[in-house]
Amino acid sequence: EASVWQRVHSLGARFDRDELEALFAKGPQLGCGGGEAREPSAERRRGQPRRLLEEQRHRQVWCMLAKLPDREAALQAIVELDDAVLMPDMVDLLVANVPAPQEEAALRVAAAAGSPAPASGEEASAAWDAPEAFLMRLVEIPVYALRVKAWAFFNAFEASAMRFHIGEADCRTAGEQLRTSGRIERLLAVILHVGNYLNGGTPRGRADGFELGSLAKLGEIKTKERGTLVDFIVGQMAKDSPGVLEEVFAPGGEFDCVRSARKHRMRELREDLSGLLSQAQDFALRLERCVGDGDGRLERHHLRMQAHVARLKELDGRFEA
């Protein structure tokens, strides 16, 4: 036997979706569906704005428009890449809503077709709804997609560059400390000689050095009194060189430097830097072409992008050094 809700769903319901939205919608009338809607009257259809976008995309653009300032000012800001008008989060919204090629083509065709002339005795056709109207204006801007994407790149550049600067500086400082610190050399000497003594009588007991990766094994060698080889070495350092280990672990000392360096994944940093440099070079090339084609508004942005390319190349060189 069918449940109550199965019977309720099978009954369905007829209601006027447009009237429901007009009475209760908190935002633009979006046609959320649900129920078997009646066809609105011819008079109501005649007064409704025209649409081109599918429902989900229509809502997405409406959400963007709700967060933008005056739409005319926003469109002009895209032409100029004007930071005073559009904040970075608004530029990111524009990037997320850049029309796909197929949608752009449909928008251009619809805009070129315009509104058909009304026949004798008929009212003029309704205008395009706000999302369609805005996107039609957007695609009229020369290289609009390049503009907003390069703009978003500019907005995010300093944070990205700072990440590479900090990572390179931390790793370089740690490397210098490990190469030049007398305290670290003293600690390594104790570890080497203790290891050679324990391995006496074997080829490993005459080692001239060791791989740093083997230091992790010191904590695995247990003493008879529940301690480890690390405990022994620390005790010997304290006797032979009082205060040295305290200095190693003091704020700003060798331990702090190495710990800061360990926060960075060097392979990932270098890959990300290479990707960002390629992206900047591509933007610089495309902006240069636009300037050569007469788009003077992009000239200073081309120069700015070239400066970013130079800065990233300098950073890349520091990673190679």
Query: What's the CATH number where 60 sits?
Result: 1.20.58
Domain that holds residue 219: 181-262
The rounded radius of gyration (Å) of the Cα atoms in the chain is 34
Residue 148 inside a domain? The answer is no
Q: Is residue 89 part of a domain?
A: yes
Residue 37 belongs to a domain: no
- pLDDT for 126: 66
Whether residues 208 and 283 share a domain: the answer is: no
Q: pLDDT value at position 74?
A: 96
190 and 217 together in one domain: yes
Contact 172, 180 (CB under 8 A): no
| Residue 97: predicted pLDDT | 95
Q: Tell me, what's the pLDDT at 263?
A: 92
Structure tokens at 254: 């060798």
Q: What pLDDT, on the 0 to 100 scale, is given for residue 156?
A: 97
Which residue has tokens 């009229």? 140
Q: Are residues 250 and 283 in the same domain?
A: no
Per-residue model confidence (pLDDT) at position 301: 97
Does any domain span residue 136?
yes
Q: Does residue 251 belong to any structural domain of this protein?
A: yes
pLDDT along the chain (321 residues), means of 10: 60 62 51 41 60 92 92 95 95 96 94 62 66 95 97 97 94 88 87 82 68 79 82 87 90 91 91 96 98 96 98 92 71
Are 159 and 291 within one domain?
A: yes
Q: Is residue 14 part of a domain?
A: no
Are 70 and 107 part of one and the same domain?
yes
pLDDT score at 47: 59
Same structural domain for residues 193 and 238?
Answer: yes
In this prediction, residue 226 carries a pLDDT of 77
In a shared domain, residues 201 and 277: no
Same domain for 269 and 240, yes or no, is no
Domain shared by 137 and 59, yes or no: yes
- Tell me what pLDDT residue 152 has: 98
219 occurs within a structural domain: yes
Indicate the residue among 237, 262, 287 that finishes a domain. 262
Give a yes or no: residue 42 inside a domain.
no
Same domain, 160 and 297: yes
Closest alpha carbon to 315 in 274, 285, 265, 287: 274
Tally the domains of the chain: 3
Could you tell me if 239 and 199 lie in one domain?
yes
> Does residue 164 share a domain with residue 269?
yes
Q: Which whole-number Å values give the CA distances from 32 to 64, 103, 130, in the listed order?
A: 18, 22, 17
Give the global pTM. Answer: 0.72
